[in-house]
Structure 1
């Protein structure tokens, strides 16, 4: 089913996509039901034969479908399915592709949850993963084996903001008949359109920028209708990682302001990155749209909407300086998430990536003084003032 609306401007799509499913309400109603009534035994049988009507919320929900339509429209995908969390989306999407004996090529610099899934969990089921240098498309080509079924990308990467050359890597995947998948959480469809660059499947932690307010957990998988049907009938129904209808309502409401929020995230983050680049306590900064980023030209080409809402930087004092900075901030919140209206600050070596072996962390560029700063929507002068006093 083609979910593309007639409106192509982001703000219009963000508000109106999915609303064709809603009758008589200006806002989508919240269908807080675990199961649904049938008018007759025949109607029940027709539903189980594939007729489009709600049966059981683990199989689909009217409120959740509004969110799915919104994300599919924004990503330029045929369809989407919502999940309980970002990791539920990653897990379900991968499990819909690979089986025992298969091989995955994945980028370095992965989110720690994805790293552990690929490196620790899937090998117990006979599925192996080779990590390829995030910045080198040729490394992906060299890592392919006869049993490779999936190339998995994350761009920008969490937390290093290393970029995958999406078009180059998907060309490699297509030449070998391999499915490609990307985590588009950091960029969002406002800044980066992976499907236009050849990606088959897009996943999100909707908890982050899509929802945008730090109040709802969720994930999204977007792609061809046939693949989304496979995910829904397989991993979602059998493993149970469906989204709560209330969370779907919150995230769908958040998406209505996504283009506006991302414009402010992009603007604030670039100003913060430029300020940090000149600070004497900072060894280096990484932000896709800052000229100091090693892949700046690729970022401008691949992320035409903006550099996103996350800045990373290395403190000259290393691990201790990172801990000290977190203890000194007052406006910025010490937390391990991102994509909120509030500015959130994290020291990955001691928190989100603490469980990743140090050698693997360093190989991925996660150094001891690394700070991940999710720049919020506050006045940028107040954000910089808080960082300034904390670094002094």
Structure 2
């Protein structure tokens, strides 16, 4: 990289920023229009400990830096860091704290986050409390350092009020981290509502092609960034240059993809709401969602993620429905161009303790869909024929 021209003032729109922020040809000696991939693991130095900008691939890489800066721009943040996975990003954030510190985590979160906090972080002396949104303040203690929430939550799609939670956290001098994976920076900017950290599983919508595993943290707090940058290098939780190249390319279609994900998912949700074999549909873009008004205040739109409950269905009937799908693929993950369906109780959230799953209503009749970019008529037809098999 030859310069630091970066994000020019005229780039006001999201799609323009995703295509151009820190990716202009002038950034490179070659004037390459497509951001190059730099795979070198080490960089020549002028003298001992006298290097131009990059020293060693774990400490910094041009391809990764471009992506980190662009992601920060899209989230209205100053500082971005990419990690080897979404859980890698979560591990980095958890490592900001020391034995005896207390973290409050929302009760309805990704099963891997629950497992990491409950089974791994606790071994290193961190105290973890899982609570619903109404119980956060009464669980804050003198040693509480972080509140971690998802908005939207996974898999029951509750909408956490980011602004209210940020005000609560800061009243008690506690940091707020928001996992915004399900909504993406195209629709939501948690930093604008007071969050200290935004976390993304880049694996999902931001990459959008189901071929890269990566995570990111975004912040406006220089002190937090410097600490996380140190941890990123010290712990080695970094993505490969090729993966960074892939995601930088994927960003250029993020705006278009999210528009179509939203359009398709709303039509699927409306179809399911009217189906006699569906008990309830959970989609934040529908007026029937209990926090629909909060969602509209903090998000400009919704993604393709949604859940619904089959009416009086057993585990076996849920399996029958999922196995009958032809276009929706039965698989974990979400956010790719292809439509996916899964059963959280035995798949993504199987590691959540059974009693906690019952409280959260992650039952055997709860189906989670990631509505992709296929033709809407084909998606609805596929759901219709699978529902008929129950």
Give the superposition deviation at 1:5: 4.2
2:122 is equivalent to residue 126 of structure 1? no
Distance of 1:179 and 1:255 partners within structure 2 = 28
2:41 is equivalent to residue 34 of structure 1? yes
1:53-97: CA deviation from partner (whole Å, max 9, x where unpaired): 11111111100111111110000111101111110011102212x
Question: Is the Cα–Cα contact under 8 Å of residues 2 and 79 in structure 1 kept in the other structure?
Answer: no
Question: Is the Cα–Cα contact under 8 Å of residues 325 and 390 in structure 1 kept in the other structure?
Answer: yes
CA RMSD after TM alignment: 1.5
TM-score by length of 2: 0.94
Question: Is the Cα–Cα contact under 8 Å of residues 15 and 255 in structure 1 kept in the other structure?
Answer: yes
Distance of 1:357 and 1:320 partners within structure 2 = 21
TM-score by length of 1: 0.94
Instruction: Report what 2:79 is aligned to.
Output: 79
Question: Is the Cα–Cα contact under 8 Å of residues 7 and 22 in structure 2 kept in the other structure?
Answer: no
Structure 1 residue runs of 5 or longer lacking an equivalent are: none
Instruction: Report what 1:93 is aligned to.
Output: 93
Distance of 2:376 and 2:22 partners within structure 1 = 34
For residue 115 of structure 2, give the secondary structure of its aligned residue in structure 1.
helix
For residue 349 of structure 2, give the secondary structure of its aligned residue in structure 1.
coil
Question: Is the Cα–Cα contact under 8 Å of residues 77 and 195 in structure 1 kept in the other structure?
Answer: yes
Which one of 350, 353, 362 corresponds to residue 354 of structure 1?
Answer: 350
Instruction: Report what 1:227 is aligned to.
Output: 224
Distance of 2:83 and 2:167 partners within structure 1 = 29
2:307 is equivalent to residue 312 of structure 1? yes
Distance of 2:329 and 2:260 partners within structure 1 = 18
Question: Is the Cα–Cα contact under 8 Å of residues 7 and 17 in structure 2 kept in the other structure?
Answer: no
Give the superposition deviation at 1:3: 7.0
Question: Is the Cα–Cα contact under 8 Å of residues 157 and 283 in structure 2 kept in the other structure?
Answer: yes
Question: Is the Cα–Cα contact under 8 Å of residues 5 and 22 in structure 2 kept in the other structure?
Answer: no
Structure 2 residue runs of 5 or longer lacking an equivalent are: none
Give the superposition deviation at 1:270: 0.7
Distance of 1:367 and 1:22 partners within structure 2 = 53
Which one of 46, 49, 54 corresponds to residue 45 of structure 1?
Answer: 49
- Residues 251-270 of structure 1: matches in 2 within 5 Å? 251-270=247-266
For residue 49 of structure 2, give the secondary structure of its aligned residue in structure 1.
helix
Distance of 1:202 and 1:365 partners within structure 2 = 26
Distance of 2:356 and 2:207 partners within structure 1 = 31
Give the superposition deviation at 1:310: 0.5
Question: Is the Cα–Cα contact under 8 Å of residues 4 and 78 in structure 1 kept in the other structure?
Answer: no
2:301 is equivalent to residue 297 of structure 1? no
**Count of residue correspondences:** 379
Distance of 1:71 and 1:22 partners within structure 2 = 19
Query: Structure 1 3/19 Cα, relative in aligned 2: closer, same or farther at 3 Å?
Result: closer
Distance of 2:178 and 2:321 partners within structure 1 = 32
Distance of 2:8 and 2:176 partners within structure 1 = 25
Query: Structure 1 281/22 Cα, relative in aligned 2: closer, same or farther at 3 Å?
Result: farther
Instruction: Report what 1:9 is aligned to.
Output: 13
Instruction: Report what 1:344 is aligned to.
Output: 340
Give the superposition deviation at 1:2: 11
Give the superposition deviation at 1:321: 2.2
Distance of 1:14 and 1:362 partners within structure 2 = 41
For residue 348 of structure 2, give the secondary structure of its aligned residue in structure 1.
coil
